[in-house]
């Protein structure tokens, strides 16, 4: 699959998650393709798409149980954001949208790190929000995701 993909979990129902996502896509100036409602375009013509799926579609049950325990609620929706063509601005743009939607839906953004995150980085993210480490990745709540976006080591793994 070409492009860049980012996903996040939310305890909201798919319909509510989608409503918030659509509002956030419109807020950053994207327009919806009327023929394919899951497709959105930037002013520069870059194509984005999203889909909603059950959390257990790609995430192991033990991982979902851990997230539910820490979040205090079961995750009901996995939102996947995807760009159709790779562009250097993809990762940060997707991450900012995911961070805002996660903030409005008590969501958790899934982040893969290039190398296992240091204890110092995880402590930093946990000091401003909540962070669930899962190997070479983590689930970040909106506050921790905002801190990651501002962090000097910020990077995005496709």
Look up residue 55 and give its two tokens: 């959390």
Q: What is the pTM assigned to this prediction?
A: 0.91
In degrees to the nearest 10, what's the CA dihedral of 47, 51, 56, 57?
A: -70
Rg (CA), the chain: 15
Distance in angstroms (rounded) separating the CA atoms of residues 113 and 2 = 20
41-72 pLDDT, tens digit per residue, is: 988 888 889 999 999 999 999 999 999 999 99
pLDDT class of 5 with cuts at 50, 70, 90 = confident
Distance CA 38, CA 24 (A): 14
pLDDT digits (tens, 9 = 90+) for 88-127: 666 788 889 999 999 999 999 999 888 888 899 999 999 9
pLDDT the model gives residue 78: 97
């Amino acid at each position: 699959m070409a492009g860049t993909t980012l996903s996040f979990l939310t305890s909201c129902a798919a319909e509510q998650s989608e409503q918030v996502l659509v509002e956030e896509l419109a807020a950053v100036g994207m327009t919806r393709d009327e023929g394919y409602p899951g497709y959105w375009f930037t002013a520069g013509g870059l194509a984005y798409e999203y889909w909603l799926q059950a959390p257990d579609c790609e995430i192991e049950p033990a991982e979902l149980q851990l997230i539910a325990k820490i979040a205090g609620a079961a995750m009901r929706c996995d939102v996947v954001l995807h760009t159709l063509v790779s562009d250097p601005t993809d990762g940060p743009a997707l991450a900012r949208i995911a961070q805002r939607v996660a903030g409005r839906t008590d969501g958790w953004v899934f982040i893969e790190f290039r190398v296992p995150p240091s204890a110092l980085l995880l402590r930093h993210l946990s000091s401003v929000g909540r962070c669930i480490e899962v190997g070479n990745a983590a689930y970040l709540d909106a506050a921790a995701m905002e801190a990651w976006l501002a962090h000097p080591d910020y990077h995005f793994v496709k």
